Amino acid sequence: MKKDVISILDLTADEFVQVIDLALLLKDQRARGEDHSLEKRYTLGMIFEKASTRTRISFEVGMFELGGHALFLNPNDMQLGRGEIVEDTAKVLSRYLSAVMIRSKSHATVMELAEHATIPVINGLSDLEHPCQILADVMTMREKFGVLEGLEIAWVGDGNNVCNSLILASALAGYHIRVATPGGVYAPDASVLAKADAIGATYTICATPAEAVTGADVVYTDTWISMGDEAEKEERLRAFAGYCVDEELLALAAGRAIVMHCLPAHRGEEISPAVIDGEKSVVFDQAENRLHAQKALLSLLLER
């Protein structure tokens, strides 16, 4: 039976660990120049409603290195852009492709595509969750610390899709996440927090960035102005005053702390140049690991 990954919780705890373990193995094999093609030549359709650097390149290169082929699909070049319903598109793509990855403006679109497709559908980003990013993030934490259970993660900034998935993933990985946002519309999604409570995710909503970062093993931030939020730039800059991850804030973290950012970054806004380019920063390891984590995920979904 086909399996979709729309939410990070579409993976069981065992599957989550399996993906991370395989990602680390694939990274090692790639470094040693070993072929790790899958048994069959698979095809991946990639629908991009939102522009991308890391998502497109990592999935496209990943499919190539697995011995398959990826197709870039711009909705404006498809009948989707001329009014074809998602259901019909899903049924047609299922006749051509082995799997679909979609980077969408709406989580509902991803869910609708998965409902009607007979092939695996992967959420490459939606307004609610970003499971592929979290797989790369958790892989990076495993690389740096050797274990996940018991880690203290500090999230500072916007309670966005990455933050939502990172909270939910705590139930699979065993870390604890402390979240500092300005609250209100910038808080993590209420439905995500309700789900997190139901599954036993371990998180704390903090009043200040300092409370979240003190003693943390991982300090994580993201842009305050995501695609689609540009008209709110000045308002958001005012709301997030005091939330920049700078050297003073980072000094409160554990001595072994690492700094993460899923990119693109705006130096001088959510993170200072000295921190993102400093010795504790692992953001480019994190970006590279998108490739390895997504190859592992594709392997799991295509060769079930």
pLDDT at residue 1 tops 90: no
The token duo for 31 is: 């470094």
221 contact partners, CB below 8 Å, separation of at least 6: 155, 156, 157, 243, 245, 260, 261, 270, 271
Number of H helices, E strands in the chain: 12, 9
pLDDT of residue 111: 98
Q: Which pLDDT value is given to residue 226? A: 83
pTM equals: 0.97
Task: Please name which of 15, 1, 265, 289 lies closest in space to residue 138, comparing C-alpha atoms.
Answer: 289
Domains plus CATH for the chain? 8-130+289-302 (3.40.50.1370), 133-286 (3.40.50.1370)
Residue range 9-45, pLDDT digits in tens: 999 999 999 999 999 999 999 999 999 999 999 999 9
Element of type H or E holding 87: helix 86-96
* pLDDT of 137 above 80: yes
Percent of the chain with pLDDT over 70: 100
The mean predicted confidence, pLDDT, of the chain is 97
Would you call the peptide bond into 209 cis, given omega within 30 degrees of 0 as the criterion?
no
Confidence (pLDDT) at 304 = 80
Per-residue pLDDT tens digits for 212-249:
999 999 999 999 998 778 889 999 999 999 999 999 99
Least confident of 78-87, 151-160, 243-252, 290-299: 78-87
Q: Which residues are catalytic?
A: 103, 130, 133, 222, 262, 290
Q: What is the pLDDT of residue 229?
A: 80
Containing H/E element for 248?
helix 247-250
pLDDT at 293: 98
